[in-house]
Structure 1
């Protein structure tokens, strides 16, 4: 814990973490808020899953594109424009009556314009700490972001039930605008310039570590999205229990991230962390009571933040600095496609086979992610005792002879 305290004393680190968490706080609210809102409108979890899937697909397409644009246009212009379009789209979805197809189209636009805060901050981190601090910083960041998933579902559920689902969505939009503006005003954002990548779009995916992180991230987030839908279906949209259980799920991730943040990252590290998630989700299928789900998801959550820390670490150590934003964009795309798949499959599964089927879906995604990580372990860099900073960009230097 002393190393985390030292990290937070490093100039710029605490405010970067706080600002980006605020800007990304809607991620912990919007899925649940829209799930409850659309299910109430159309009496169908399948319809809600389709809208959430459309939003996630938009984000997935935008991930590498907006990340790459930051190397051409700068972080601030890209984040500002996308924030304005995204916030406007979310507000329209909340207040304008429209059919499911209309909600899907506007949701797709909202996802397409989601500000690339995560790739931006992942690119800035190596410039504000030394190489020895970078791996613990990724672990701290992965743990801290669980605040989003602890408080977000609880706040979204509370506001949706006590006030209205529209109020919950508008509150998420307010966090998006306020947090993005705060992030844009930070001096570190202005000081770090992402070099323009000389590679074609998508070439970075040829790096085995980037592809592995993208695929396993897909499975991990698909599992989390399916759990979210399943828990809401178990307790119903009229109960706050779903928010509390999902909050406990995130607390498990926070505990795991802080406890395992300094664990060496070897070839088996990702598979081991995914195994924890899969085991907890399998246990969750046994009984659908509040306390059993809370216990099982607390256990499953212990593997989540450590798994994300490994994903970020192996990507950072495998690509050039000019490619880091795009690489994290692709990893984010994999996660968002996972969210789309998890939400859609779980939604239709609930409609046809009941709430417990969504938990089975989640366990299946997590188990598949564990198997992929184990089979591809030879492609995961061994970071034990290694520098996890991005590879420096080099270019020919002209000399006078």
Structure 2
């Protein structure tokens, strides 16, 4: 805890950490809000899963492109313009009664316009703190973001049940705009300049840490999305117990991140942390009731934030600073594709086999992620004793002889 307290004493860390947390809060709300909204309008979890998947797919495709544009246009202009478009598009989807194809199309556009807050903030971090505090900061960020998944589901289900799903979506947009403005106007955002990358778009995927983190992030988040849909399908979109279970799941991740996320990262770290996620989900299938699911998903959640810490720390320690924003964006894109895939698969499972089958699908995604981490262990960097800072950008220097 002493390390985390030291982080908050660094000028600018508190505002950047909290503002980006608020700006990213819709990620913990929109999936549930649109699942509830579309299902209540069109009476189909499969249709709701398609709409959520379209939003995630749009953000996944646009993420690497917009992250590179931050180096060319600057963080502030890009983030602000995308924030406005996303807020307007997603609000229209909630306010007006639209057909499923139109919702899918607008969801894709809104997803494409979603501002790349996560790549931006993870690019800022190495310039914000000393190298020795970078890995703890990644851990704190991965742990703090679980607040999104603790408060978000409970808040969304409460608003949707008590007021309406339209209000739930608009509340998420209020967080996006308010948090986005708070983050964009932060002095740290204006001070960081991202050098133009010498690689072509997608060139960073040739580096093993990036492609491994992207693929593992995809299946890991597909697991979370399937759990989310499965819990909502099991308890119904009018039962606040669904939100509480998902909040407990995220609370486990928060506890795990604060307890273990700052530990030195070895090649085996990812596999060990994912085993906890997998075992908890497998146990959840035994007795799918409120108390048992709360216990097993809390256990599963203990490995989530520490596993995410490994994904981002591996990239930070192996890539040049000019390449980190795009690298983080590809990881984010993988996670967003995973969110869409998990929601779509879970929606189909619920409609055809029942809600418990969605949790089983989440367990399969967790097994695939664990096996992937085991197979790719040989390409994972050993960061024990490393500061984890990005590699410096170097180039030829002209000399006079």
Q: In the alignment, is residue 292 of structure 1 matched against residue 292 of structure 2?
A: yes
Residue 387 of structure 1 deviates from its aligned partner by 2.1
Residue 396 of structure 1 deviates from its aligned partner by 1.6
Residue 274 of structure 1 deviates from its aligned partner by 1.0
Alignment of 1:30-45 (within 5 A): 30-45=30-45
- 2: CA distance between counterparts of 1:190 and 1:8? 20
Residue 96 of structure 1 deviates from its aligned partner by 1.2
Tell me which residue corresponds to 1:272: 272
- 1: CA distance between counterparts of 2:116 and 2:97? 29
For structure 1, the residue ranges without an aligned partner over 5 or more in a row are none
- 2: CA distance between counterparts of 1:58 and 1:350? 24
Tell me which residue corresponds to 1:9: 9
- 1: CA distance between counterparts of 2:237 and 2:38? 11
Deviation digits for residues 188-237 of structure 1 (CA, Å, limit 9, x no counterpart): 00000000001001110011011110011001100000000000011001
Deviation digits for residues 162-189 of structure 1 (CA, Å, limit 9, x no counterpart): 0110000000001000011000110000
Q: In the alignment, is residue 355 of structure 1 matched against residue 355 of structure 2?
A: yes
Residue 254 of structure 1 deviates from its aligned partner by 0.1
Deviation digits for residues 357-384 of structure 1 (CA, Å, limit 9, x no counterpart): 0000000001100000001101000000
Tell me which residue corresponds to 1:144: 144
CA-based RMSD: 0.6
Residue 400 of structure 1 deviates from its aligned partner by 3.1
Q: In the alignment, is residue 102 of structure 1 matched against residue 102 of structure 2?
A: yes
- 2: CA distance between counterparts of 1:212 and 1:24? 24
- 2: CA distance between counterparts of 1:89 and 1:81? 13
- 1: CA distance between counterparts of 2:178 and 2:200? 34
Task: State the SS of the aligned residue for 1:246.
Answer: helix
Q: In the alignment, is residue 156 of structure 1 matched against residue 156 of structure 2?
A: yes
Residue 264 of structure 1 deviates from its aligned partner by 1.7
Query: How high is the TM-score relative to the length of structure 1?
Result: 0.99
Query: How high is the TM-score relative to the length of structure 2?
Result: 0.99
Tell me which residue corresponds to 1:123: 123
Residue 36 of structure 1 deviates from its aligned partner by 0.6
Residue 397 of structure 1 deviates from its aligned partner by 1.9
Alignment of 1:62-77 (within 5 A): 62-77=62-77
Tell me which residue corresponds to 1:218: 218
Moved over 6 A (4+): none
Alignment of 1:301-380 (within 5 A): 301-380=301-380
When structure 1 is superposed on structure 2, of 255-264 and 217-226 the one drifting more is: 255-264
Tell me which residue corresponds to 2:390: 390
Q: In the alignment, is residue 88 of structure 1 matched against residue 88 of structure 2?
A: yes
- 2: CA distance between counterparts of 1:300 and 1:55? 27
Q: In the alignment, is residue 209 of structure 1 matched against residue 201 of structure 2?
A: no
Deviation digits for residues 63-117 of structure 1 (CA, Å, limit 9, x no counterpart): 1011011011110111011101100011100101110000000000111011000
Alignment size in residue pairs: 401
- 2: CA distance between counterparts of 1:141 and 1:317? 17
Residue 299 of structure 1 deviates from its aligned partner by 0.5
Deviation digits for residues 343-368 of structure 1 (CA, Å, limit 9, x no counterpart): 00000010000000000000000110
For structure 2, the residue ranges without an aligned partner over 5 or more in a row are none
- 1: CA distance between counterparts of 2:353 and 2:97? 30
Deviation digits for residues 6-46 of structure 1 (CA, Å, limit 9, x no counterpart): 11111111111000000000110110011011111111100
Residue 262 of structure 1 deviates from its aligned partner by 2.3
